[in-house]
């Protein structure tokens, strides 16, 4: 199972929006609605941002939103803030019978 | 509150085995799966496998079949990961995470495993 493809970097000024893509295949993103996104600050564990493409845990601000079309999912961070500077990873469920998962290659977001 | 607390740093020689524990608290242990993910230096996360504390069912990434074993101890609400025949490219931070359906919502703090001769 190959990793999902993300752009290595993205950037924006405070208050702007940035969108990160996550491209998989018809066996993972294209097959299921189970795409999740994680934020990771240096030296920390990943934190769940979105699940089932668009759902947010209660503690995650609505500046974070998600979408999916075909084999590609996207994360949009609106109203960029300094604390949004981090690495972002997508993940997809990839196996109905074997409960497998795959992660993305990661995107580092820089707030200019 | 939900917590997953992992065991400490490990240094192993090539060919050895490592055991990492993950103690869960703050939720009904048998109601959620636990997954293991590793992250090599400067790399993205990699899914290793998952286990259901309810029935002990395990699911392993094909890459780790035969080398990885996940187990649980429901009396201590602890999940264990054993990785055998270690190589230098197994050097990574290993994380456990709680697995409600199809997402990883709470993570352990991570355990650094270094494989070096």
Distance from C-alpha of B108 to C-alpha of B89, rounded to nearest angstrom: 22
> Which residue, among A45, A52, A57, A60, would best test binding to B if mutated, counting the most B CBs under 10 Å from its CB?
A45
**With the C-alpha atoms ordered B89, A49, B35, A101, is the resulting torsion angle positive or negative?**
negative
Distance from C-alpha of A112 to C-alpha of A80, rounded to nearest angstrom: 10
Model confidence at B77: pLDDT above 70: yes
What is the model's pLDDT at position A2? 84
Query: What would the mean pLDDT of B62-85 be, rounded to a whole number?
Result: 96
b vs e for A26-57, b when ≥16 Cβ sit within 10 Å of the residue's Cβ? ebbbbbbebbbbbbbeeeebbbbbbbbbeebe
CB contacts, 8 Å: A106 with chain B = 43-44
Model confidence at A112: pLDDT above 90: yes
B108 and A91: CB-CB below 8 Å? no
A101 and B35: CB-CB below 8 Å? yes
B45 and A46: CB-CB below 8 Å? yes
**What band does A95 get if pLDDT is binned at 50, 70 and 90?**
confident
């Amino acid at each position: 199972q190959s990793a999902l493809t993300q752009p290595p970097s993205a950037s924006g000024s405070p208050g702007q929006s940035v969108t990160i893509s996550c491209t998989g295949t018809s066996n993972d993103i294209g097959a299921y609605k189970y795409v999740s996104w994680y934020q990771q600050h240096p030296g920390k564990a990943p934190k769940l941002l979105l699940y089932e493409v668009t759902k947010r845990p209660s503690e995650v601000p609505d500046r974070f939103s998600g979408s999916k079309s075909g084999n590609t999912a996207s994360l949009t961070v609106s109203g960029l803030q300094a604390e949004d500077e981090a690495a972002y990873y997508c993940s997809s469920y990839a196996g109905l019978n074997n409960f497998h998962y795959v992660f993305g290659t990661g995107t580092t977001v820089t707030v200019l | 509150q939900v917590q997953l607390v992992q065991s400490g740093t490990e240094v192993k020689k090539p060919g050895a085995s490592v055991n990492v524990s993950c103690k869960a608290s703050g939720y009904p242990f048998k109601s959620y799966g636990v997954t293991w993910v590793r992250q090599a230096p400067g790399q993205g996360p990699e899914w290793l496998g998952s286990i259901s504390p309810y029935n002990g069912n395990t699911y392993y990434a094909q890459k780790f079949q035969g080398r990885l074993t996940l187990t649980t101890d429901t009396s201590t609400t602890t999940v264990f990961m054993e990785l055998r025949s270690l190589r230098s490219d197994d050097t990574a931070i290993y994380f456990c995470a709680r697995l409600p359906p199809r997402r990883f919502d709470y993570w352990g703090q991570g355990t650094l495993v270094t494989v070096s001769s």
